Structure 1
């Protein structure tokens, strides 16, 4: 399978983007169809994006066809957890050398697939191309097909070398690979009217485990998870679900739209962060499933049971959050994250009485950007880019009490001498669902009221007014 320009453009040309649907073909937004400029993807490439999307499939061997340096460590720095197989945490690489670049790496790849199958017996092998193997012209697709016949298990080729574009593009290419080679290749033992798929959640810090018990209590079965804590087999029969619940719209909407066109599965866009979001998510799932059942006792019972569950969980959560809300009320947050978190954490902060005074719109769909502006109001700031200098100025201008973002932003918070909370994929705490809301409140409280901040804001013992004058140029 060659990467033609048509194939590259396919996941970029988002058919479900309402912003584009309203425009004529020649006036569609170019950024929805045009890959990033060369060089702009360094450190954030489509190869990494594909791995981020697919590595959480836990019983699959993920083999990187390229130099060992390309493998890096995407398994551990993302924090996707497994309730079963740990195979996905093993980094497999063909470790191409200079000789392989000259003479080709196809034989090495074929032997690597056979060795993995013999030693680890995976449910499938996913082979990821890299810039090097794409440039030297290895026929990776043919090798994968030949190896699959030899070992008798699926070998899926993920054609996303890093130079194609951004991490976001790689996420979409990963989803396309699942649709082309995995979804629809097997049938579940049984199906129910209450089968759903969750798309775009990667079980970071075990967040999926905060939500699955809620669905179990409602009698709703999560047929397939794509891809947090997933097994290869469950993705094979994802086409039998009655509803797709999309968590990360920016990278998963195209997948949901394709499944709607092929299999007639409706989809809804939801978030698991914050009380208001999780309540709405449960209600929308129950309402959509009930609508497909028609007006009967079963559908009415599902909606009634959903309301009972929401009432029970929110009442218990209100009691648990009472002391934290009194301490967090009125605190101001600058939020620098992306995708679903850039707007859903605004609502989660409101649940705690906190105010988000600025957020980013990175990796957000046009609909999400509109939602961000609505939630922030006229006084809120929306950041498209957030260099350390920009964030420091925003923190100063908004008189923020803390910065919430990714791990790379913690040093900016330290420079500003304010608390920081990590909500991105490197975090070790689950913030989804009702249990996650309590954990978020606890972490925000610990960060804000740590005694270290009172100490670092004090002048050093050796500091005096004369030094201030020298540094400011007055002397």
Structure 2
């Protein structure tokens, strides 16, 4: 556990973390992430965060050394997509029982599970995840993985991020440390070139990266490794030979990008593929970094030509939606890079932002929002469901973009809602993705169901009619009038 504590402290002291730079020495030691409160829900543990980052490596076997529930609760927890291998969709767990714990059979059972996976599937590597139970009973995961790697002749990578050590975000960073310690730099490519890049922190949710990669292909830029979206083990193992990198989500993997720059001189920048302007700027910065690392400057001209063509096509498609959406108000309840990149994307087509959550955003993210919105009055650290409901029910927003956990608040307030987080069904990255995002917002806002659900129910109209009847009328007359309304619909009654 002492090595794990040292690793956690190293992650907390990450110098590339913008949130850490403004602290004094004492505050910096307390860490970048807010510590967990025992017994309180924190939106995911460190194990969950590590699994989120590494599971999209599609040809690897992911083995959870724990009782069954740990894997059952975290399996397929993101909508990442694969263009090939499907091994990552298979759940592997040692399924420890109380008897295994009492009798001290955890390490033996883990070694046996690794052997069975190697014999049945022959993966290029096996990632092993300890959880709270196996970490607390003291199973030496690293020793078992080292012995198994020697015995079976394949990489067996310990991902030392048991749930109790911290938050999901800490688990993200510990997963990056596992890649640095055991994977990246372990294979040498025979085709390294001056146009190789890494994309760090891209999860390929709903196949989003597949909308961006063709743009890079047209520029002759090869993605050496997309970490972790739709990744292969050998791609990540040879990622140290890339010439430049783009950081998509610094909240999760800033430590990985920074240490790759230190060790292998791979410069990186943080950008976004959400929105037309940000996508164009990301392509420009990638090309500029490659030129600084020795690529032919002619790529800069080709990049501008590509941007001009793609922007013209995208704006032409978006022109049809502008009259229908201009001036519409959006409440964005998310965090991280989406807190500013999606804001910028929506404002490009005339949509008004009435609020955006910054709970999971870095200091840099918040500064970008201030620059885009010109003030910080529309930023909120946290908004309770009751506050969200009050804001939506008072019609301060025409639609809410958020994750699945708050969709029912919008539905209760009879307000359109669109999933912008990992469970979404549509890709929103790149030029085509921006058009798709706007199309989905248009469909949600102008869905005729909202006009119907906002109208009073027929029985409410009947009650209103009954109450408005003159008191001199008899009970028989009242019943007769109500019966006349019983066969009508809300459309027939209008506003009653």
Aligned residue number for residue 262 of structure 2: 261
Q: 2:12, 2:30 within 8 Å by CA — same for their partners in 1?
A: no
How big is each residue's C-alpha offset from its partner over 1:7-50, in whole Å with a ceiling of 9 and x where there is no partner?
Answer: 22221222113453344313548452663333345551000000
Distance (whole Å) between structure 1 residues aligned to residue 340 and residue 393 of structure 2: 22
Equivalenced residues, count: 466
Classify the secondary structure of the residue corresponding to 2:147. helix
Moved more, 36-45 or 346-355: 36-45
| Equivalent in the alignment of 1:390 | 387
Cα displacement string for residues 314-348 of structure 1 (whole angstroms, at most 9, x for unaligned residues): 11111111111221111100001111111100011
Other-structure match for 1:5: 5
Aligned with 1:306 (options 303, 306, 313)? 303
Instruction: After TM superposition, give the deviation of residue 100 of structure 1 in Å.
Output: 1.1
CA contact (8 A) 1:419 1:453 kept: yes
Correspondence for 1:346: 343
Structure 2 CA distance for partners of 1:310 and 1:453, relative to 1, 3 Å: same
Q: How far does residue 397 in structure 1 lie from its aligned partner after superposition?
A: 6.0
Closer/same/farther in 2, CA of residues 3 and 132 from structure 1, 3 Å limit: farther
Matching residue of 2:62: 62
Distance 1:304 1:93 in 2: 51
**Aligned partners of 2:132 and 2:164 also within 8 Å:** yes
CA–CA distance in 2 between the matches of 1:40 and 1:258? 33
Deviation at residue 391 of structure 1 after TM alignment: 1.3
Query: Which residues of structure 2 form unaligned runs of 5+?
Result: 468-496
Bigger drift between 416-425 and 8-17 goes to 8-17
Match of 1:411 in 2: 408
The one-character-per-residue Cα deviations of 1:78-107 (angstroms, maximum 9, x if unpaired) are: 111001100000011111111012112111
CA shift digits 1:415-462 (9 cap, x unpaired): 111100001111111000011111111111111111110011001101
**C-alpha spacing 1:457/1:251, structure 2 compared with 1 (3 Å):** same
Deviates more, 1:285-294 or 1:235-244: 285-294
Q: Secondary structure of 2:347's partner? A: helix
Closer, same or farther: CA 462–29 of 1 in aligned 2, 3 Å: farther
- Work out whether 1:328 is the aligned partner of 2:325: yes
Larger Rg: 2
Superposed CA deviations along residues 63-122 of structure 1, whole A, max 9, x for unmatched, are: 010011101254434111001100000011111111012112111111111000110111
Q: Which residue of 1 aligns with 2:84?
A: 84
Pair 113,2 (structure 1): closer, same or farther in 2 beyond 3 Å: farther
Tell me if the contact between 2:52 and 2:77 (Cα under 8 Å) persists in the aligned partners. Answer: no
- The equivalent of 2:228 in structure 1 is 227
Determine if contact 1:94/1:112 at 8 Å carries over to the other structure. Answer: yes
Give the RMSD, CA atoms, in angstroms: 2.0
**Kept in 2: contact 1:144–1:155 (CA 8 A):** yes
Q: 1:41 to 1:457 in 2, by over 3 A?
A: closer
State the SS of the aligned residue for 2:460. Answer: coil
TM-aligned CA deviation for residue 189 of structure 1: 1.2
Instruction: Provide the C-alpha distance between the structure 2 equivalents of 1:446 and 1:258, rounded to a whole number of angstroms.
Output: 44
CA–CA distance in 2 between the matches of 1:35 and 1:364? Answer: 16
- Change over 3 Å in CA distance of 1:285–1:151 after alignment to 2: same
Report which stretch shifted further, 355-364 or 51-60: 355-364
Alpha-carbon distance change, 443 to 94 in structure 1, aligned in 2, over 3 angstroms: same
Distance in 1 (CA, whole Å) between partners of 2:34 and 2:340 is 25
Give the aligned partner of residue 143 of structure 2: 142
Work out the CA distance in 1 between the residues paired with 2:226 and 2:234.
Answer: 11
Contact 2:126–2:155 under 8 Å retained in 1 = yes
Q: Which moved more, 1:3-12 or 1:338-347?
A: 3-12
Contact kept? 2:18, 2:364, Cα under 8 Å:
yes
| TM-score normalised by the chain length of structure 2 | 0.90
In the TM superposition, what is the alpha-carbon distance from 1:289 to its structure 2 partner? 1.3
> In 2 relative to 1, CA 354–214 (structure 1 residues): closer, same or farther, beyond 3 Å?
same
1:378 paired residue number: 375
* Structure 1 residue 244, shift from structure 2 partner: 1.2
Asked whether the equivalents of residues 357 and 398 of structure 1 are also in contact (C-alpha less than 8 Å), the reply is no
Does the Cα contact within 8 Å between 1:187 and 1:237 map onto a contact in 2?
yes
- Give the aligned partner of residue 155 of structure 2: 154
Q: For 1:33 and 1:209, how far apart are their aligned partners in 2?
A: 32
Aligned twin of 1:473: none
Contact kept, 8 Å, 1:35 with 1:164, in 2: the verdict is no
Q: 1:368 aligns with which of 365, 370, 387?
A: 365
Query: SS of the residue aligned with 1:62?
Result: strand
Counterparts in 2 of 1:42 and 1:343: CA distance versus 1, 3 Å: closer
Task: Identify the residue that residue 444 of structure 1 maps to in structure 2.
Answer: 441
Quick one: structure 1 residues 241 and 444, their matched pair in 2 at CA, closer, same or farther if it must change by over 3 Å?
Answer: same
Distance 1:320 1:453 in 2: 26
> How many angstroms apart in 2 are the aligned matches of 1:161 and 1:288?
37
Distance 2:391 2:457 in 1: 26
CA deviation after TM superposition for structure 1 residue 467, in Å? 7.6
